[in-house]
């Protein structure tokens, strides 16, 4: 699903890491806080995050990402009706949150540079780093029939 990337998992130590975690925590339900680490995804200018729904085996009810370095376009597409889609412009420093229907009923993807348009305007995509926060799958109530990934 992902091409042209590097990734790692980083604990959020130190003052800056703890401050970032405190800023992201309100995006999560109180009973299901984010893990104390971030998944760091370093996407090269020619890289792509293909359409997917994060596995309910590894991710809880909320996914939050902080976009860094270059703007990118996030596309959400309905699993029920692929003609139903939405694109969001993710500016550097922006936070996106996937929960509820956006988490379970839509795929999400980062458009490759050649497809990167928003509102009819070209959004040149350079290197993109995302700090992705997730909560554990335990202690939540996912849909009765979560999508397969």
Whole-angstrom Cα distance, residue 38 to residue 51?
21
Number of helical H runs and strand E runs in the chain:
2, 10
- Where residue 149 falls among pLDDT bands split at 50, 70, 90? very low
Tens of pLDDT, residues 88-103: 999 999 999 999 999 9
Rounded to two decimals, the pTM is: 0.86
- Would you state the pLDDT for residue 16? 86
Give the residue among 129, 141, 131, 139 at the shortest CA–CA distance from 36: 131
Domains and CATH numbers, the chain: 2-134 (2.60.120.590)
């Amino acid at each position: 699903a992902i091409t042209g990337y590097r990734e790692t998992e980083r604990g959020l130590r130190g003052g800056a890491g703890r401050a970032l975690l405190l800023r992201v925590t309100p995006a999560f339900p109180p009973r299901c806080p984010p893990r104390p680490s971030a998944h760091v995804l370093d996407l090269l200018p020619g890289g792509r995050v293909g359409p997917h729904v994060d596995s309910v085996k590894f991710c809880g009810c909320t996914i939050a990402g902080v976009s860094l370095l270059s703007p990118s376009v996030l596309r959400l597409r309905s699993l029920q009706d692929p003609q139903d889609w939405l694109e969001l412009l993710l500016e550097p420093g922006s936070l996106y949150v996937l929960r509820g229907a956006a988490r379970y009923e839509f795929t999400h993807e980062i458009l490759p540079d050649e497809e990167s348009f928003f509102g009819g305007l070209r959004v040149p995509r350079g290197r993109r780093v995302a700090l992705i926060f997730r909560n554990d799958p335990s202690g939540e109530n996912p849909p009765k029939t979560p999508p397969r990934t």
